[in-house]
Structure 1
Amino acid sequence: MRLFAVSALREPPFPGRRHDSTDQVAGESVEWARSFGLIDTGQRLLRADAAGLAGRACPDGSVDRLRLLTDFITWLFVMDDACDEDGLGAAPTRLAPTVGALLDVLDRHGDPDGPPPIAAGPLGHALHDLCARTRAHDRPALLLRFVSQVQRYLLALLWEAANREHHRVPQVAEYVQMRRHTGGVHPSLTLTDLASDGLPGAGRRAHPALLTLDRLTVDLVCWCNDLFSYGKESRSDPDGHNLVTVIAREAGADEADALRAAAERFNRALAAYLVAEAELLDSGDERLRPALAARRNWVRATYDWSLVAARYA
């Protein structure tokens, strides 16, 4: 599938870079996951290479903030694998107790005087640690944004579980909307903004042009992931949560046509992204540049990481 993706996708026209401390952070993040009981041997996590993705998405900034981003991506990989490969997300009734406990953790917003309940388990205690470390940076608006985005991620996982239980493949428009949450990209962007000091104020955050760019960034990251991962997913237990699959079902297309249609959707979104980015750059607001750099880094990082990550081999 990598050969198809490379041949069909337009390569993001941004320079690829990597944080100098990526390798150091990789080992530290695996140990962090092990310390919370998220993993045993860590072999599956090593194949995922969370640090490789984070280091490309955040090539600058302090090591501790890169660690926070890497640990969160590590947490996402563990959560996704539990749902997709270990059966936690096979039905909403199976997933709901875990989601409820994690929402309880998020409601505490990393309060150092309010540790998570024992029932939260390893995933909950690790998530509390991530919230507490985000809280320690004393950016209340960013903390609230991060927490609300993770809440939407968790609720979207319940949507996926309901679809799996009923063997339901969603329509394309529904899938595109929900994929923006199941991918966990929004909270990852928030921590990248923190790591790169690219924190636009509330007024700029709500600007329609930046909201459009955020939406395009998330779509590009998720659709790139869908195309690179489709081969692995279609070989194992076919799942209705992939852009190729939903296009094939809705259009009545065969696999080859659906793959081409998904690639064309990515390429059109990349063209729209470049137009939206150019308009923001032309606005002359220099305070937006770090945020814009973070978003283009994520688009490029996902493409480059997908080329080498053993997760999709």
Structure 2
Amino acid sequence: MDAKTTRLMSLSDVCKIGPKAVNPHADEAQARSKQICEQAGIYIPSFENYTTMSGYLYPEASMERLVVLITVTNMLYYADEVYERHARQDPDPAEDARLRALFEQTIEGIITGEVPHEDEPLYRGALAIHKAMTPLTHISWVKKLIPALVEHLNSTTYKLEDILQKEGGDPLERYIALRELDGGMRPTIRMIEFANDFYLTDELRSHPFIQSIEAPTVSVGGLLNDIFSYEKEVLAYDSRFNLVAVFEDYYDLPFEHAVHKAVEVVNNHIAAFLALEQSIPVWEDPKTNEIVRRYVKGLRDQIKAAWYWQLSTDRYRSKTSPFPELRMT
């Protein structure tokens, strides 16, 4: 730590980039999505503790679009909770292959509205999402969303702690790269377009500026979650796949110092986003400029949500939280 630093940073020292914004349709959309998820069989008791995030992530989405976004978010959390890697201590290649096939067929169901059977809750969820999403967007965009969904769902079948422990490269850099696969932020930022009913062209999507400004957004979402979920993931599940735990394990730091370094990493990524936000390129076409402006605004909403939603939900709160901000009284 720098000699000039007078105190260690903690959760409350995370950089905030604007006031809280919550979609005015959030409560009604959540109620509608809950009914869809219950009918499909993908509702779990902690539904209210995580689906509220969509109202923060997409504060300007219409009611119909927000219902779809909440349902997709719930499906991802359902897959994480039901098929969570923490539940399996030893590798199981056959089970991993089965899950990958299940996830791929689920995604195919979202695109086509066809599934092998309706006995599997994920398949029923896919049909419900297909029915609700199809009238609101182009099938070509749904197909572009698919790689991000598949990547995230398949990360459930990776023993990420084992990958992290392989030799070679800086542990922190390796962890941040792996966290991008596991954090769910890629599909989350992809859905900014659907939420606000505008779409990036393939050329824009691959533009260096868009690629550059997406990177810190993805990292902030996953890495800030590591701090909020430290008790749940590290202390309760004994997972070491966590930014704070990386500093504890690989840099031999005590908890308070590890949190300080984790906050520093998150704040550096937020600073990188803010610097890029001030240097948006200008295109000749006014429509393109407007789309890019709205997309960057959507990314900003994601970073804001990473702080305000996680602070508001009970998902990371407990009487024994190591963070005073999350301690229930």
- TM-score with structure 2 length normalisation? 0.82
For 1:118, what is the secondary structure of its paired residue?
A: coil
Change (3 A) 1:47 1:61: closer
- Judge conservation of contact 1:146–1:187 (CA < 8 Å) in 2: yes
Instruction: Please name the residue that 2:297 is paired with.
Output: 293
Among 33, 36, 39, the alignment partner of 1:29 is 33
Change (3 A) 1:297 1:281: farther
Instruction: Kindly state the Cα deviation for residue 38 of structure 1 after the two structures are TM-superposed.
Output: 1.7
For 1:279, what is the secondary structure of its paired residue?
A: coil
Give deviations 1:14-41, integer Å, cap 9, x for gaps.
Answer: 23211111111111222221111123xx
- Judge conservation of contact 1:183–1:222 (CA < 8 Å) in 2: yes
Instruction: Kindly state the Cα deviation for residue 299 of structure 1 after the two structures are TM-superposed.
Output: 0.7
Instruction: Kindly state the Cα deviation for residue 226 of structure 1 after the two structures are TM-superposed.
Output: 0.8
Instruction: Please name the residue that 2:157 is paired with.
Output: 158
Identity of aligned residues (%): 19
**2 CA distance for matches of 1:138 and 1:43?**
30
- Judge conservation of contact 1:16–1:304 (CA < 8 Å) in 2: yes
Instruction: Please name the residue that 1:124 is paired with.
Output: 123
- Judge conservation of contact 1:14–1:300 (CA < 8 Å) in 2: yes
Instruction: Please name the residue that 2:249 is paired with.
Output: 249
Structure 2: gaps spanning 5 or more residues: 1-8, 318-329
- Read off the aligned partner of 2:21 and give its amino acid letter: R
**1 CA distance for matches of 2:70 and 2:98?**
26
Give deviations 1:166-210, integer Å, cap 9, x for gaps.
Answer: 696563323211211211111122222211124222211111111
For 2:279, what is the secondary structure of its paired residue?
A: helix
Greater alpha carbon shift after TM alignment, 209-218 vs 86-95? 86-95
Q: How do residues 252-271 of structure 1 correspond to structure 2 at under 5 angstroms?
A: 252-271=252-271
Instruction: Please name the residue that 1:273 is paired with.
Output: 273
Pair 1:102-2:106 in alignment = no
Greater alpha carbon shift after TM alignment, 288-297 vs 243-252? 243-252
- Judge conservation of contact 1:213–1:273 (CA < 8 Å) in 2: yes
Instruction: Kindly state the Cα deviation for residue 97 of structure 1 after the two structures are TM-superposed.
Output: 1.3
Among 45, 57, 62, the alignment partner of 2:47 is 45
- Read off the aligned partner of 1:5 and give its amino acid letter: L
**2 CA distance for matches of 1:209 and 1:256?**
36
Select the structure that is richer in helix: 1
Instruction: Kindly state the Cα deviation for residue 307 of structure 1 after the two structures are TM-superposed.
Output: 0.6
Change (3 A) 1:141 1:89: farther
Change (3 A) 1:298 1:167: closer
Give deviations 1:108-134, integer Å, cap 9, x for gaps.
Answer: 55213xx21128711233134324544
- Judge conservation of contact 1:82–1:89 (CA < 8 Å) in 2: no
Change (3 A) 1:264 1:87: same
Instruction: Please name the residue that 1:9 is paired with.
Output: 14
- Read off the aligned partner of 2:293 and give its amino acid letter: R
- Judge conservation of contact 1:106–1:131 (CA < 8 Å) in 2: no
- Read off the aligned partner of 1:291 and give its amino acid letter: Y
- Judge conservation of contact 2:149–2:187 (CA < 8 Å) in 1: yes
- TM-score with structure 1 length normalisation? 0.86
- Judge conservation of contact 1:220–1:266 (CA < 8 Å) in 2: yes
**2 CA distance for matches of 1:275 and 1:177?**
21
- Judge conservation of contact 1:198–1:294 (CA < 8 Å) in 2: no
Length, aligned pairs only: 300
Instruction: Please name the residue that 1:240 is paired with.
Output: 240
For 2:176, what is the secondary structure of its paired residue?
A: helix
Give deviations 1:240-266, integer Å, cap 9, x for gaps.
Answer: 221111232222222222211111000
Structure 1: gaps spanning 5 or more residues: none
Greater alpha carbon shift after TM alignment, 235-244 vs 103-112? 103-112
- Judge conservation of contact 2:240–2:246 (CA < 8 Å) in 1: yes
Instruction: Kindly state the Cα deviation for residue 91 of structure 1 after the two structures are TM-superposed.
Output: 3.7
**2 CA distance for matches of 1:168 and 1:61?**
37
Instruction: Kindly state the Cα deviation for residue 287 of structure 1 after the two structures are TM-superposed.
Output: 2.5
Greater alpha carbon shift after TM alignment, 173-182 vs 133-142? 133-142
- Judge conservation of contact 1:101–1:119 (CA < 8 Å) in 2: no
Instruction: State which structure, 1 or 2, has the greater radius of gyration over its C-alpha atoms.
Output: 2
**2 CA distance for matches of 1:251 and 1:86?**
24
Q: How do residues 200-239 of structure 1 correspond to structure 2 at under 5 angstroms?
A: 200-239=200-239
Q: How do residues 131-142 of structure 1 correspond to structure 2 at under 5 angstroms?
A: 131=130, 133-142=132-141
For 1:43, what is the secondary structure of its paired residue?
A: coil
- Judge conservation of contact 1:103–1:151 (CA < 8 Å) in 2: yes
**2 CA distance for matches of 1:144 and 1:89?**
34
Root-mean-square deviation over aligned CA pairs: 2.5
- Read off the aligned partner of 1:69 and give its amino acid letter: L
- Read off the aligned partner of 2:98 and give its amino acid letter: P
Pair 1:177-2:177 in alignment = yes
Instruction: Kindly state the Cα deviation for residue 309 of structure 1 after the two structures are TM-superposed.
Output: 0.8
- Read off the aligned partner of 1:289 and give its amino acid letter: R
